[in-house]
Structure 1
Amino acid sequence: MNGTGYILVVEDSRTQARQLEETLKPLGCSVSLAYNGKEALEVMRRERPTLVIADILMPELNGYQLCKIIKADDKLKDVPVVLITQLSDPPEIVRGMECGADDFIVKPYNEDFLLTRIQAILRIKVEEHEAAKEVVILVVEDSPTQAEHLKHILEQHEYQVSVAHDGREALVLLSQGRPRLVISDIVMPEMDGYEFAYEVKRDPELKKTPVILVTSLLDKKDIVRRASVVADGYFTKPFDDRYLVSKVESLLASSRREAEGDGDKINVSFAGEHYAIASGRRQILTFLLSIYENA
């Protein structure tokens, strides 16, 4: 594969696969061919493609199924998938959207039209990649070893990382420059993660900054307490590196959407104690997903 990445074409018709390979040559990318969904997954897991173009009607594993598997894989889910088919019924197109496809092209297609669509998708991926290099994530962790581990994981994905060793130091760094996301340990000296998250979320300038809490605590009351300080998610130690990166990407994507307005606190009784949940709708949803994924 060349330095510009490669496009994977998945088509059970060898004639059409080669024709599509020829059509894509003007893009300057290498093209690999797979003749069914299972073969495509084997190729992708050996070397991740820049983009996948897949026919829908294939034996063994059809295009919908292949797309669902790709989008459910933490290492592959951000690879754009374009589905190509002769089917043009609206329900079929909806199925393509439901499985997470990035685009849907109906045969027969104009070659220039196909190239324009593929170029647009590749351009967006390049822009997202470049934007990610400018994202600063603040890690708040009193353990130098664990702070360095988190920093290493994030820098591997080209995020810029700042490190604070407790909540008070983190607030000073936040006042000097706003990061796009914060990952904070809970048990720390000076100011713990709960108090720190509360201070972030009550600050009008910082409250929309996603905060992820990291802890080894498993008490269910403690989980509810996380919601009361409007954390956007949490991890229990030890955590899977891929899950961490996936959650970071998800929260960064959410933070780019339209900001929510502040709402009234929700009063909740749990295990004989009362809590005032100040989360907005986005925070509640992402928080509940964090609980589900950590169950």
Structure 2
Amino acid sequence: MSARVLVVDDVLPNVKLLAAKLTREYFNVITAFNGPEALDLINREAPDIVLLDVMMPGMDGFEVCERIRSNPATMHIPVIMVTALSDVADRVRGLEAGADDFLTKPVNDIALFARVRSLVRLKMMMDEWRLRESTSGQFGVIERSGSLLNESYERARVLILEDSALDLEKVAETLERDHHEVLSSDSCAKALEQALNTELDLVVISLTLMNEDGLRLCSQLRSHERTRQVPILLMVDEGDLNHVAKGLDLGANDYVIKPIDRNEMLARARTQIRRKRYQERLRSNYEHSLSMALTDSLTGVFNRRYVNAHLPRLLERAIDSHKPVSVLMFDIDHFKVVNDSYGHSVGDEVLREVSARASRNLRTFDLVARLGGEEFVVILPDTDGEAALIVAERLRHRIAETPFAVSAEVGQINVTVSIGISVGGRLGDTAEGLIRRADDALYEAKRLGRNCVVADARAEIEG
């Protein structure tokens, strides 16, 4: 996973060491040597994550972090504080300032890379929800969601998986300070059952269980739709970085080291609960605003109006961040024959199923829209031409491989699609040009015999 990482430290060797490590892992690294320079770069370069030294002259890392969090344009950027300070009070101060984690020098590579990747994944998802809410706001039907730090962290429902009675009692008492409703379990099976039957705001999982593997529950929670977005906080023994890295890769959001410091536990829990509630507010605003105005009433996917508003903003972000955005334009082959042979009601059934198959085979932050008739568009953020070609071929195959069940006497019919690809993200690109190039590639796919994928020449070069 590639990302733009801002490394901030007033000591040049420290900057060079971190930059070299991250570059070897294929991250794009930019650097700053003091707080004001860092804030200026954040505003100009829009990094995906900030690695921030604490002890800097003038403006220290705590103040920099607080300024990042107080700015609505940057408050969602993950911040990892990297410092020689190792006292728990310093960690808590950093977390309360808005930091997502606190790594002690010399930085362990396993912890560093796992944390960066985990937080970048979170930011990608948050970026898409923020952009979609912003697009929806253009139509004047919602109010903005406000600040992440303004979200309440109290009165949450928290599930704890822990088989140590002493540790469970300490963690539960700590969380109850914020008036949380605390549920507990001593087995993965029981905890999963509770999670699937209860609306949770946070799950705390011990990785020091005597007879079970807490990572199993972590994996199970991420595999179920109902619990996929519930934040997970791991409790681990000091030095057990391999389990931490694995847990973050599986989708855990944060971790705390045993023996548990009460203030640190509260700070980390508050961060996760606030983030979940902020994300839920974004999603709720977005879904409410689009349910009527911006979705296609037949298929339930977006309509042309939404694409016309959203794609220019997405392309602008792609140009600013130097990350490509790809467009797939596709339509149903010989759709007129379907309508003429079986009637428009069967044609509507086919349109709905094509939309459903397209949506099921894309990432959660990709976008599917019906432009009209049998013509659809898929927008793929942060996707180059090579990856877009793989997605398009998979989509074409998933539609063609299984006949469509229909209400007509024949019972089922075969359906195929033709797909054209374009890629944007260069200075001067426009949404209209991106759509036009994808449409031209789609026309070429139909000329070549249909049921195939054709990439615009520029997409092939960039892929």
Q: TM-score range by the shorter chain?
A: 0.3 to 0.5
Greater helix percent: which structure? Answer: 2
Higher Rg of the two aligned structures:
2
TM-score, length basis structure 2: 0.31
TM-score, length basis structure 1: 0.47
